[in-house]
Amino acid sequence: MATVVFLVRHAAHGLVRSVLCGRMEGVHLSEEGRLQAAALARRLARECPDALCTGPLPRARETAEAIARATGLVPVVEAALDEMDFGTWSGQSFVALEADPEWRLWNEARASSRPPGGESMAEAQRRILSWLEARRKRQPEGRVVAVTHAEVIKAALAGVLGLSLDAHARFDIAPAGLSAIALWEGGGKVLWMNEVAPT
């Protein structure tokens, strides 16, 4: 008896490769992202999920809305699926961040550092793992879609695999990337990671 959770990174937006958006408001899916979300939705419909949850930011909710149209499910907004709080880094370009020694430290030591004024990856991992465990208890044989963000998915996967958060760079989680985990009392496993449906 296991709960299957489909961990979905939101589809692409216009700043996805240039700006660390974090919890910025007003970031919506681009045309490319809408195509990605539609392809992802068709792929997920084949999995016959019975619940659809999403983080609160527009890019996550818009991805979830595409999945809702394909599956007939009603998206439920969950605060635990929100993006990491990147503090003062939110809204900065990746070019600018590369010159910041704290940014370099963050990328070298995720298990022990934090964004200035923001949330540590360990804190993000605690909230996503707590949410996953609560969902497992609520739906012990459920099939749940969770639309969230790359760092949150990396934290969840590292937790299930028993890896240090310093291993974050070993995971590639693309926009509209689909990963799946199975959870049962006392354990879990990764079923697949970062599948991207062709548009």
pLDDT confidence tier of residue 1, bands split at 50, 70 and 90: confident
Q: 26: alpha, beta or left, given left = phi > 0 and alpha = psi -120 to 50?
A: left
pLDDT confidence tier of residue 44, bands split at 50, 70 and 90: very high
pTM above 0.85, yes or no: yes
**Domain ranges across the chain:** 3-195
Structure tokens at 81: 């699926």
Check pLDDT > 90 for residue 177: yes
What was the pLDDT predicted at 26?
92
Q: Helices 121-138 and 150-161 sit at what angle, rounded to 10 degrees?
A: 70
Backbone angles phi and psi of 92, in degrees to 5? -85, 150
**Range 3-195 has CATH code 3.40.50.1240:** yes
Q: Please tell me the distance from the alpha carbon of residue 99 to that of residue 19, in angstroms, as a whole number.
A: 14
Q: Please tell me the distance from the alpha carbon of residue 132 to that of residue 156, in angstroms, as a whole number.
A: 9
| Buried-state track 57-85, b at ≥16 Cβ within 10 A, e below 16 | bbbbbbbbbbbbebbebebeebebbbbbb
What was the pLDDT predicted at 53?
98
**What average pLDDT does range 70-89 have in this prediction?**
98
125: number of Cβ within 10 Å: 22
Provide the percentage of residues in the chain whose pLDDT is more than 70. 100
Check pLDDT > 90 for residue 181: yes
Check pLDDT > 90 for residue 50: yes
Q: What is the pLDDT of residues 26-36, one digit of tens each?
A: 999 999 999 99
pLDDT confidence tier of residue 25, bands split at 50, 70 and 90: confident
What was the pLDDT predicted at 185?
95
Return the residue matching tokens 């449906």: 197
Check pLDDT > 90 for residue 173: yes
What was the pLDDT predicted at 187?
94
Q: Helices 31-45 and 58-71 sit at what angle, rounded to 10 degrees?
A: 40
pLDDT confidence tier of residue 61, bands split at 50, 70 and 90: very high
What is the chain's mean pLDDT, rounded?
97
| Amino acid occupying residue 81 | L
